[in-house]
Amino acid sequence: MGWLRLHAIAARPLSFGRAVERYWRMATTYRPTRRSLLASAMTAALAAVAVRAHAQGSATPIAQPREATPVAFAARAQEMRRLAIERGDQAYGAVVVRDGKIVGEGVSAVVTDRDPTAHAEMQAIRDAARRLRTNDLSGCEMYGTSRACPMCEAAAYWARLRRMHSGEPPADDGAPRLR
């Protein structure tokens, strides 16, 4: 009998006045939790990163070589290497090419950005994906100053790059694969 009484009390509709009073009590006593504050901070930080990434993606056009040859693309990767050295970073550079045009460039930023994943090849893949507005880089080839490490080769595999080349003159390293 007690359960039925409790159920009847809980199912009883609130009067308008009691509903407003209950809502007012909830609204005035709300205290944000640590989780909700962290969620708000993370949302704001991610929005700032997205705005920055969008601005970087449309920032500067890529200088194209006069001739669309593998040697010219390897030379551009060497220019990226020189830029990395000038910035005080490791001596690596890479470019991503699609249909005879460079669509992404990468300069090693491991030391300067304090980011162990900022290899030149990773930076070139990110740049190409941002500029092309897709994560599918099918039909693209990468030219780097040295053979890609396992992390970069895996990233090239997941980005669906067709072939990888390294050195000057460029040696064909084949299609990227998971090791």
Active-site annotation, residues: 121
DSSP symbol at 13: P
Paired strand residues for 102? 97
Distance from C-alpha of 30 to C-alpha of 173, rounded to nearest angstrom: 60
Paired strand residues for 59? none
Count CB-CB contacts under 10 A for residue 154.
15
Burial readout 27-45 (b: 16 or more C-beta within 10 A, e: otherwise): eeeeeeeeeeeeeeeeeee
Distance from C-alpha of 7 to C-alpha of 179, rounded to nearest angstrom: 63
| 177 half-sphere exposure, CB direction, 13 A CA radius | 4
